[in-house]
């Protein structure tokens, strides 16, 4: 690698916190940050999942800890920030990736389920930005990367609260990107296309729906989770220093497709 490219994308020693870091997408992002030389706090409601990803990063020679986090609790976010700063120092990068989905038909959905999805997605992103963002603004530097979705608009069918929440995450990203632009803190979002988890395949992706998804994706395939890492590294690095309030699509052309 040329010295120029190395310096442009260098993340060595930067401190990264990843919410939902024990999951399918964010776990891979966390492992990518570990390979880039970052110090990782893997935050997840399921501590065993967080510890598993942290262990994989340590086994590869990196530095990482697992931290239990209820992403709907401001007190938990404050505790997670303290647990990250204590061993590693000030946080440079936050990835807000916690959240669940629902496939319940609209007329059958109870308010409790609606609130549960909304809280796990937009409320958790709000709290992460509030707690870690205040820390970053006080330090005069920082980088927040939220996880949007192809469903942020136009919305996907059969994912009502999820789509609403993801639209809110996009809007919040733009709001905070503008708000903190002169305070050394950038806020952006990655907009993944279709990277199916086992849950997605079981609850959402019928043969007809798969044909519709792939027919609307110019590349004609699903994404591999490793294909999110490059965009994440770019947004986290100084190479994207003039980028804030943006939503970066990693979707095989899905968002560019009409007929």
Catalytic residue list contains 254: no
**Contacts within 8 Å (CB) and 24+ apart, 135-138:** 135/81, 135/85, 135/90, 135/91, 136/91, 136/94, 136/180, 136/184, 136/185, 137/180, 137/183, 137/184, 137/185
Q: Which of 33, 88, 160, 162 is catalytic?
A: 162
- Active-site positions read 162
């Amino acid at each position: 690698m040329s010295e120029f490219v190395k310096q442009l994308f260098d993340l060595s020693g930067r401190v990264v916190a990843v919410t939902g870091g024990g999951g399918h997408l964010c776990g891979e992002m966390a492992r990518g940050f570990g390979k880039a030389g970052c110090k990782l706090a893997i935050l997840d409601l399921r501590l065993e999942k967080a510890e598993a990803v942290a262990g994989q990063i340590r086994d590869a020679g990196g530095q990482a800890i697992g931290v239990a986090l209820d992403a709907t609790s401001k007190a938990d976010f404050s505790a997670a920030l303290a647990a990250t700063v204590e061993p590693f120092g000030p946080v440079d990068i936050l990835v807000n990736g916690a959240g669940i989905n629902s496939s319940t038909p609209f007329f059958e959905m109870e308010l409790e389920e609606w609130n549960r999805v909304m809280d796990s997605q937009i409320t958790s992103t709000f709290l992460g930005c509030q707690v870690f963002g205040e820390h970053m603004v006080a330090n005069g530097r920082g980088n927040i990367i939220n996880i949007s979705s192809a469903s942020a608009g136009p919305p996907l069918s059969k994912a009502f609260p999820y789509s609403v929440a993801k639209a809110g995450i996009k809007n919040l990203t733009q709001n905070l990107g503008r708000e903190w632009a002169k305070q050394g803190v950038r806020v952006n979002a990655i907009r993944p296309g279709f990277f199916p988890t086992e849950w997605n395949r079981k609850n959402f992706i019928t043969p007809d729906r798969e044909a519709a998804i792939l027919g609307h994706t110019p590349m004609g395939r699903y994404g591999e989770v490793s294909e999110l890492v490059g965009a994440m590294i770019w947004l986290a690095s100084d190479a994207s220093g003039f980028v804030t309030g943006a939503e970066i699509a990693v979707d095989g052309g899905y968002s560019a497709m009409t007929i």
